């Protein structure tokens, strides 16, 4: 049951402002605690609020990127909560009205749990069924209503010199990526979608210019952030195979030609930018990276 609750968190933003993150953690904890204490209807209420938080995020981003037009201005995803629940569902595009009605049905179940009916209507198996139903709804909404705006945001981020050129950075790649993830409300599922379908021509080109090399380094840093976050935060299996960083590392060395810049040293840049990722890594993986790159990473063993 715990795994089901963490599944929906993979669709919610990885990073939120502190107050909003506390709220999501509160709902997660409430759902888990009520499951453990066998207060299953209360567990569903908290889970349903996580489900609605996902819908708020979806509508907020669709509105932000001009895919739908909402009447009011919304500054955060939780401002959408001021909207009537029926309007929230009705604004989910790409679906037949019958399917929208199916999505809405879990609101009735939530109401059954929240209103004082005088009896306990749902037991564990019932609540598990409806939680799985909401996760199924989220999966359908995530991928059928998926727009190119997020892929374009990733591509624009990777191609922005202010993000990829270490000489212009005031921080490491990882801090830039975390800020990008926060500002764009990116979830683990969003990261997985992009990493499976990057559609970035620079990744298949030879590493023979600083620009191409830097873009590849930044892309690898996104993979590193994904791996670190999933391994640190989630108890369920990631949807992308483990070792994605090492699997993709050869693209960096593909056709590598050292740029005509006396100050350019790929090994030093790599060790500097990826030090926090490499430090906790086991020796076996460090050796694999050395074999692929021919870098001396003895400091990380």
Cα–Cα dist 95/137, whole Å: 11
Neighbours of 294 (CB within 10 A): 10
Q: What pLDDT shows up at residue 151? A: 83
Alpha carbon of 141 to those of 46, 85, 144, 287: distances in Å?
Answer: 20, 16, 5, 42
Residue located via tokens 């670190």: 228
Conformational region of residue 62, where left means phi above 0, alpha means psi within -120 to 50, and beta covers everything else: alpha
Cα–Cα dist 109/45, whole Å: 9
List pLDDT tens digits, range 219-264: 999 999 988 877 666 555 556 666 889 999 999 999 998 887 778 8
List pLDDT tens digits, range 35-87: 999 999 999 999 999 999 999 999 998 888 888 888 888 889 999 999 988 88
Q: What pLDDT shows up at residue 205? A: 94
Asked if 44 and 87 count as a contact pair (C-beta separation under 8 A), the reply is no
Encoded tokens for 290: 């050395």
Cα–Cα dist 138/3, whole Å: 15
Bridge partner list, 93 = none
The band of 129, judged by pLDDT with boundaries at 50, 70 and 90, is very high
Q: What pLDDT shows up at residue 292? A: 96
φ and ψ at 105, to 5 degrees?
-60, -30
DSSP three-state, residue 187? strand
Task: Give the mean model confidence (pLDDT) for residues 123-152.
Answer: 86
Element spanning 156, H or E: helix 148-159
Encoded tokens for 135: 């996760």
Q: What pLDDT shows up at residue 289? A: 95
Burial of 129 (0-12, 13-18, 19+ CB in 10 A): exposed
Cα angle 178, 181, 186; round to 5:
145
pTM metric for this prediction: 0.87
List pLDDT tens digits, range 149-190: 788 889 999 999 988 887 777 678 888 999 999 999 999 999
Q: What pLDDT shows up at residue 35? A: 93
Bridge partner list, 187 = 13
């Amino acid at each position: 049951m715990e795994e089901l609750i963490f599944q929906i968190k993979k669709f919610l933003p990885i990073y939120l402002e502190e107050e909003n993150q506390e709220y999501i953690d509160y709902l997660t904890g409430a759902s888990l605690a009520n499951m453990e204490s066998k207060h299953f209807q209360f567990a569903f209420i908290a889970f349903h609020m996580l489900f609605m938080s996902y819908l708020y995020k979806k509508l907020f981003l669709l509105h932000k990127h001009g895919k739908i037009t909402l009447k009011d201005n919304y500054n955060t995803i939780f401002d959408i909560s001021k909207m009537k629940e029926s309007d929230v569902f009705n604004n989910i595009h790409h679906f037949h009205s019958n399917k929208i009605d199916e999505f809405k049905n879990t609101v009735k179940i939530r109401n059954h749990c929240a209103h004082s009916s005088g009896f306990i209507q749902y037991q564990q198996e019932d609540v598990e069924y409806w939680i799985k139903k909401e996760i199924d709804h989220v999966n359908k909404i995530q991928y059928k209503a998926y727009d190119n705006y997020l892929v374009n945001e990733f591509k624009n981020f990777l191609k922005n010199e202010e993000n990829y050129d270490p000489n212009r950075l005031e921080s490491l790649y990882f801090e830039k990526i975390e800020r990008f993830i926060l500002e764009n409300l990116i979830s683990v599922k969003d990261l997985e979608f992009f990493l499976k379908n990057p559609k970035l021509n620079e990744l298949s080109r030879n590493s023979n210019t600083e620009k191409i090399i830097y873009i590849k380094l930044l892309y690898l840093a996104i993979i590193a952030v994904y791996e670190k976050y999933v391994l640190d935060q989630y108890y369920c299996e990631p949807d992308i195979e483990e070792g994605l960083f090492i699997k993709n590392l050869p693209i960096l060395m593909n056709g590598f030609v050292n740029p005509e810049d006396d100050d350019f040293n790929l090994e030093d840049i790599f060790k500097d930018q990826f030090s926090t990722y490499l430090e906790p890594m086991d020796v076996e993986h460090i050796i694999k990276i050395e074999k692929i790159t021919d870098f001396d990473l003895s400091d990380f063993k």
